[in-house]
Amino acid sequence: MDSDVIVVGGGVVGLTTAVTLAERGLRVRVWSREEVTATTSAVAGALWWPYRIEPAAQAGAWALASLRVYGELAADPERTGVRWVAGVHADTVLDTLGPWAKEVPGLRQLAPEEVPGPYGTGLAARLPLIDMPVHLSWLRGRFEAAGGVFERRTVTGFAEAAARARVVVDCTGLGARELVPDAGLLPVRGQLVLVENPGVEEWFTAADEGAGETTYFFPQPGRLVLGGTAEEGSERLDADPVTAAAIIARCARVRPEIAGARVLGHRVGLRPARAGGVRIEAVPLPGGGRLVHHYGHGGAGVTVAWGCAERAAELVGG
């Protein structure tokens, strides 16, 4: 065997897990169907916030662990893609959030007159906002600097990886629906619009977890990311122009200057939601190996990546 661990999947969950394992001294390979910047993770708006993820108790702890790491990475935003940015979560009441919220520095309830747009409640926060194409490329570089090997490879089953490493880590996201197979996985379609930034410096969200339409905008370098949708069960990957126009209109209700911003492009991604929430579980493989399942992160893979990677690494062992 030429590896201790093979991580299948090159999105943010797979790469973060691979970094964590490689920096513990293990020989790690990543097998990814796509380049890192072509994964579903690259589409994410990527504001740190526990959104559409279960189980809630563990997710809060994983999110806080990740928040601490992102806080460190934000010291070098040009390389890591992580920045601290202020903004508002509308339609959100602090007392309705989980215990994790009490540990987020500076999170505060706003007075109604402080909430922008047609909203009566909201929270102010300064949170990590991640430029995903930059961050994913940086993660790959950190992984390779730790001795890891990244390979483009389409996987149709885990047996091939199990023949090459004593532990296989399944970070295949929605792909686990067929590979495992796990019928509990459900795509949640997200559509975004990229526009020239007309001067917006703070992020904004109004994202009811049960709603099919959301409203948010994130100022990223060279663009403003507008969203969005949360269409359960939809696997349509082409951008719908009617949906795009509605996204722009909703965002312009909060910041009117967005209505005239030049459109740069459209993005669509399928969030890997799962009935029962995130699965991080080790199962035996024939021949004495181990398969660690690590998928089902819904809309919060970025938010919990580092905390979940630590838990997966515990199951991998030394």
DSSP label at residue 47: B
Q: What angle do CA 63, 69, 73 make, to 5 degrees?
A: 135
Chain mean pLDDT for the chain = 96
Contact 215, 205 (CB under 8 A): yes
For the record, the structure tokens of 299 come out as 């809309």
pLDDT tens per residue across span 193-235 = 999 999 999 999 998 777 889 999 999 999 999 999 999 999 9
- In the annotated binding site for FAD, the residues are 40-41, 155, 172, 298-303
- The tokens for 134 are 């930059």
Residue with tokens 């492009």: 265
Q: Residue ranges for the binding site for D-dopa? A: 216, 271, 299
Say which CATH topology domain 3-316 has. Answer: Rossmann fold (3.40.50)
CA distance 148 to 18: 8
- Contact assessment for residue 302 and residue 44, using Cβ atoms and an 8 Å cutoff: yes
Confidence band (pLDDT; 50, 70, 90) for 2? confident
Alpha-carbon span 295 to 301, nearest angstrom: 9
Rounded Cα gap, residues 83 and 17, in angstroms: 21
Query: Three-state SS for 236?
Result: coil
pTM of the model: 0.96
Q: For 59-130, list the strands marked E by DSSP.
A: 82-90, 108-109, 122-130
Checking if the pLDDT of 318 tops 70, the result is no
Instruction: Please report, to the nearest 10 degrees, the dihedral formed by the alpha carbons of residues 67, 68, 74, 75 taken in order.
Output: 170
Q: Cβ–Cβ contacts within 10 Å for residue 77, how many? A: 19
Give 253-283 pLDDT, tens digit per residue. Answer: 999 999 999 999 999 999 999 999 999 999 9
Closest-CA residue to 169 (of 304, 318, 281, 303): 281
Q: Please state the residue numbers annotated as binding site.
A: 40-41, 155, 172, 216, 271, 298-303
Peptide bond preceding 228 in cis form (omega within 30 of 0): yes
Helix or strand (DSSP H, E) at 56 = helix 56-73
